[in-house]
A and B are shown apart, each in its own frame.
Chain A
């Protein structure tokens, strides 16, 4: 290698290193506003950080409304799935990573309260939220949205086979539904856990036919278990996989059918999948938001909570995250009204009960279904 070449080589390396220090091209809230859309931004806008799980989504204009109204820049921090994000918030308790946290659900509610990472805030908008969604009398965690875990079925598949769709959970153990259902591992998947909790509440732990009896029968009926929702839905569910999978029944959400239409790019006017939501056989996941203890911007954080609970943001929730808004004044999109009927009578399980028994239930389930 000649000296010149060496110099060129080192220069290239140095340039690459420099390139690494220059932030890559950004999008969303931290990107520079384009000159055309630029309103004269007052200097030194404050920054507020919203920490959430990976599934958080929102419409750009809606977020901009908040930023403009309060002269603040919202920064987003996605910290893994719901459990992982909460654990990270707990671990950074002494020196919080963000000001507001989005997305503690009722299965993790007790852990969140136990970590003592949220400051109480009785938002005036709580008045517009149904009482049965509120789980914390001290308002450290405020309900922001909710959804239902249930069984989805492939409408076309059942029609073509001339098979009646199952009417109860117990039906799923009947021979005619052998090898048709795919569920998720409650140890690794949030809908999987919700479905296990459904069966615990539905069948009970004692009596002549317990939840474990049900699972034993389900196993004998060739239930397929995956570790995550994505594999179950996209690789095995006949609708989700575009025909490649061979399971016409899947544990998913009551809002998956409208998503099937919404994400068909106009190819479908009604969903290929339908909801099986018999009474006392669905699980309602409520998601909460809260102000992280130790925020240096309490006033702005309160404004953000109010905004997240206001109809503006609440009406954005359904088609972005495919869950129902908590605020009763928020109007639902047509797709939801048509294809995502709210299941009646979800099972009732207190968060404390879930936190106290989660590990035991999952272990018992694992013994019966997997080992």
Chain B
């Protein structure tokens, strides 16, 4: 798709943004690490060759990400189908609930999983009572299984939303035609539906893969010290040993793998995207009509509840039952009391407001930059196509880049004019934008690619100005994609704990900073406050999601 000629200068915006806030800091830190004082330091490369342990880390990082992605698809695809095809009570709420894991800090998710699956957790208690066992039967903590489970927990929403929202507008008549021509249910799925769904499936798999590939908190907190990904190893080398050359080499390995995966994906995507005739969602989604459909819907709801909602519920329950005595809101009250006159104390309302302001800013910024990028990537013409082949993977690199490395890069690079931003407040939304933009681009691309150019040509023939074409044809048709993108950008920003990436300003703490701070000192009230703030974070997220989803352009029918 192309933007009106007069608007094309906008293309420079995302490029400039990437150059200033990604490449410049990244190259600065790599240069400092690998060419200190102009002399090449090859010790990192040597270590990679000489230490089999590091190669083991690379291998583990890749395959756990691949397996996690497959498992996420396994849960996400049926859920996407149910959400796209059926109307049922509580659908909006359930969909919002499944997105909440995305914002939860890993420390509290760790606590939630322990509450649920730990040696004295709910599941073990029930099983022990039911089966009369004297030892807890489920020992998932610090195993590979809990890493995979947590990755599914965090990322299922990516598949549900990206694939589900595409599926919701897929013309069912294509499948019906195949059925009329004698294809059975499986053949329709295999030969019609799946090929059509390949672009969003590939896009969401890619995002999930990259998220798991750079997994940090899940590995540290739930996987425990026996497991290490590249991201964890980079952190250890850079922070604990201050071995910058090795950290830089490991970051390069991360980048090379990310780029390779991306390049493969871009090829696949270009081959499989087709302009499609889209149908409004209302013509597709219906109430389950028979027992079989109700059963399918019920099964998926149960599964989602067990994997995604139960840990969240456990957390919320714990925030009122922790400690002795009857359930109470005392930890919520404690949040509002500055009992030690701490200068860094922040009332919860202010933390919520800070979180919302930062996230809203990042959402607007990443939607604007992401939308422009998506237009640039789908611009017609050979030259544009060649540019897109390079640009597409590049725009996704931030997702596959170590946060520590980039954070150090900000310190090294952004300390001088014209970009003297190291301690600027603006850095927070800018950093969020960097992480959110790949999601926005990935969500909008399938939507833009499936736009039928004929529609735009028809509008132009009928006298619509190029601006009108964008406004009256493109926007309504990609509106759903924009909403999904907004949801991702917002939730990513809400949950992001910036301290690993940049210097946050203690005077403007977000909700996740408050949670992290509470867990820094012993004492039940601190633990309780962390649980209470996490519960508030869930509620704020839930509220925001429901609000974003209600945001409609009136009268267009839902696409």
Contact assessment for A31 and B341 in the assembled complex, using a CB-CB cutoff below 8 Å: no
A359 interfacial contact with B, CB 8 Å: yes
Bound CA–CA A153/B556 (angstroms): 65
> Is the Cβ of A54 less than 8 Å from the Cβ of B360?
no
**Partner pick for A19 among B242, B323, B345, B360, CB 8 A cutoff:** B360
Which residues of chain A are near B225, meaning CB under 8 Å?
A: 185, 187-188, 225-227, 366, 370
Interface segment out of the listed A118-126, A131-139, A232-240, A281-289: A232-240
Closest approach, in angstroms, between the C-beta of A220 and any C-beta of chain B?
A: 16
A92 near B415 with CB under 8 A, answer yes
Residue pair B360, A259 in contact (C-beta under 8 Å): no
B115 engages A244 (CB within 8 Å): yes
Give, as a whole number of angstroms, the nearest-CB distance from A203 to chain B: 21
- Interface presence of A95 (CB below 8 A): yes
Contact: A87 with B242, CB < 8 Å? yes
**Closest residue on chain B to residue A256 by CB atoms:** B522
In Å, the complex CA distance between A100 and B532 comes to 34
Q: Assess whether A58 is in contact with B221, with CB atoms less than 8 Å apart.
A: no
Identify the interface centre among B235, B358, B425, B505: most chain A CB within 10 Å of its CB: B505
Any B CB within 8 A of the CB of A263: yes
- Closest A residue, CB atoms, query B334: A265
Partner-binding segment picked from B162-170, B186-194, B264-272, B346-354? B346-354
Contact B361 A241 (CB under 8 A): no
Q: Does A33 contact B (CB under 8 A)?
A: no
By a CB distance below 8 angstroms, the chain A residues around B142 are 224
Minimum CB–CB distance for B410 against chain A, Å: 9
Residue in contact with B323 in the complex, picked from A21, A227, A242, CB distance below 8 Å: A242
State the CA gap A344–B221 with chains docked (Å): 33
B279 within 8 Å of A (CB atoms) = no
Q: B343 contacts which chain A residues (CB < 8 A)? A: 28-29, 57-60, 63, 76
The yes or no answer to B149 lying at the interface (CB within 8 A) is no
Instruction: Kindly state whether residue B307 has any CB partner on chain A within 8 Å.
Output: no
Whether B22 is near chain A, meaning CB under 8 Å from some CB there, is no
A170-183 vs B: 1/0 string, CB under 8 Å? 00000000000000
Contact in complex: A231, B221 (CB < 8 Å) = yes
Are A13 and B364 touching (Cβ within 8 A)? yes
Query: In the complex the two chains form, what is the Cα distance from A302 to B52 in whole Å?
Result: 49
State whether B471 touches A188 (Cβ < 8 A): no
Chain A: number of interface residues, binned into ranges: 35 or more
Asked whether A5 lies within 8 Å of B499 as measured between CB atoms, the reply is no
The answer to whether the Cβ of A228 comes within 8 Å of any Cβ in the partner chain is: yes
Q: List B contacts of A253 (CB < 8 A).
A: 522
Given the complex, which residues of A lie within 8 Å of B110, measured CB to CB? 231, 235
- Interface 0/1 of A22-53, CB less than 8 Å to B: 01111111110000000000000000010000
> Are the C-beta atoms of B522 and A187 separated by less than 8 Å?
no
Q: Closest CB-CB distance, B508 to chain A, in whole Å? A: 5
Q: Do residues A60 and B408 form an inter-chain contact, with CB atoms below 8 A?
A: no
Within 8 A of A (CB), among B175-228: 220-221, 224-226
Q: Which of B361, B422, B471, B504 contacts A78 (CB 8 A)?
A: B504
> Quick one: which of A17, A58, A185, A265 contacts B525, CB cutoff 8 A?
A265
A246 interfacial by beta-carbon distance below 8 Å: yes
A61 and B341 within 8 A (CB):
yes
Within 8 A of B (CB), among A214-233: 224-228, 230-231, 233
Residues B526 and A263 in contact, CB atoms below 8 Å apart: yes
Alpha-carbon distance A5/B479, docked complex (angstroms): 14
Whole-angstrom distance between the Cβ of A79 and the nearest chain B Cβ: 5
B164: min CB distance to chain A, Å = 24
- Contact in complex: B522, A54 (CB < 8 Å): no
User: B357 contacts A92, CB within 8 Å?
Assistant: no
Choose from B121, B412, B423, B507 the contact partner of A91 (Cβ within 8 Å). B412
Rounded to whole Å, the gap between the CB of A25 and the closest CB of chain B is 5
Residues on A with C-beta less than 8 A from B115 are 244
Inter-chain contacts of A231 with B (CB < 8 A): 107, 110, 221
B334 touches A87 (CB 8 A): no
A297 within 8 A of B: no
* Stretch of B294-302, B455-463, B513-521, B541-549 on the interface side: B513-521
Is A262 an interface position by the 8 A CB rule? yes
- Chain A residues contacting B221 (CB-CB under 8 Å) are 226-228, 231
> Is B342 close to A, CB under 8 A?
yes
How far, in whole Å, are A57 and B354 apart by their CA atoms in the complex?
20
On whether the beta carbons of A59 and B340 are closer than 8 Å, the reply is yes
> Could you say which residues of chain A place their CB within 8 Å of the CB of B344?
27-28, 57, 76
* Partner pick for A188 among B32, B236, B353, CB 8 A cutoff: B236
What are the interface flags for A1-26 relative to B under an 8 Å C-beta threshold, 1 for contact and 0 otherwise?
Answer: 10101100000010011011101111
Q: Evaluate whether A97 and B361 lie within 8 angstroms (CB atoms) in the complex, with A24-B354, A187-B236, A234-B519 already known.
A: no
B276 interface hit (Cβ, 8 Å) = no
Candidates B121, B239, B422, B499; contact of A54 at CB < 8 Å: B499
Interface centre among B224, B239, B240, B423 (most CB of A within 10 A): B240
| B: interface residue count bin | 35 or more
**B322-A242 in contact (CB<8A):** yes
* B224:A84 contact, CB within 8 angstroms: no
- Bound CA–CA A319/B522 (angstroms): 12
**A211 → chain B closest CB, angstroms:** 18
Residue contact A27 to B520, C-beta cutoff 8 Å: no
| Chain B, range 216-255, C-beta contacts under 8 Å to A | 220-221, 224-226, 235-236, 238-243
Of residues 502 to 559 in B, which have CB atoms within 8 Å of A's CB atoms?
A: 503-509, 516-517, 519-528, 530, 553-554, 556
Q: Which of A29, A54, A243 contacts B517 (CB 8 A)?
A: A54
Given contacts A235-B110, A263-B521, contact A83 B507 (CB under 8 A): no
Beta-carbon contact of B114 and A235 below 8 Å: yes
Which residues from chain B contact A252 at a C-beta distance below 8 Å? 522
* Bound Cα distance from A61 to B524, whole angstroms: 26
Partner pick for B120 among A30, A90, A244, A259, CB 8 A cutoff = A244
Residue of B nearest to A259 (CB): B522
A264 contacts across to B, CB distance below 8 A:
523-525
Q: A215 CB to closest chain B CB, in angstroms?
A: 13
Partner of B412 from A59, A92, A359, A366 at Cβ < 8 Å = A92
B344, chain A: closest CB distance, angstroms: 6
Tell me if A260 is interfacial: C-beta within 8 Å of chain B.
Answer: yes
Residues of B within 8 A of A371 (CB): 226
Chain B residues in 8 Å Cβ range of A1: 471-472, 475-476, 553, 556
Given the complex of chains A and B, what is the CA–CA distance between A230 and B530 in angstroms? 11
**Chain A residues within 8 Å of B243, by CB:** 359
List CB contacts (< 8 Å) of A237-281 with chain B: 240-246, 252-253, 256, 259-260, 262-265, 267
Chain B residues whose CB sits within 8 angstroms of the CB of A88 once the complex forms:
408, 411, 503
Taking the closest CB of chain A, its distance from the CB of B92, in whole angstroms, is: 22
C-alpha spacing A319/B425, complex, angstroms: 30
Chain B residues lying within 8 Å of A233, measured Cβ to Cβ, are 522
CA distance A61 to B411 in the complex (A): 32
| B370 within 8 Å of A (CB atoms) | no
B379 at the interface (CB under 8 A from A): no
Nearest chain B residue, comparing its CB with the CB of A111: B242
Residues of A within 8 A of B334 (CB): 265
Which residues of chain B have C-beta atoms less than 8 A from A306's C-beta? Answer: none
Provide a sorted-by-A list of 21 A–B residue pairs whose CB atoms are within 8 angstroms: A1-B556, A20-B361, A20-B365, A21-B361, A24-B353, A24-B508, A27-B507, A28-B345, A54-B516, A55-B520, A55-B521, A76-B344, A83-B239, A87-B238, A88-B411, A91-B411, A95-B415, A245-B118, A260-B523, A265-B525, A366-B225
**Residues on A close to B: CB < 8 A?**
1, 3, 5-6, 13, 16-17, 19-21, 23-31, 49, 54-55, 57-61, 63, 75-81, 83-84, 87-88, 90-92, 95, 97, 111, 185, 187-188, 224-228, 230-231, 233-235, 240-246, 252-253, 256, 259-260, 262-265, 267, 319-320, 322, 358-359, 362, 366, 370-371
Q: Which 5 pairs between the two chains have the least Cβ-Cβ distance?
A: A263-B523, A20-B361, A185-B225, A263-B525, A60-B343
Given contacts A24-B358, A358-B241, 10 further A-B contacts (CB under 8 A): A21-B426, A58-B343, A77-B503, A77-B505, A87-B242, A95-B415, A228-B220, A230-B107, A240-B524, A366-B225
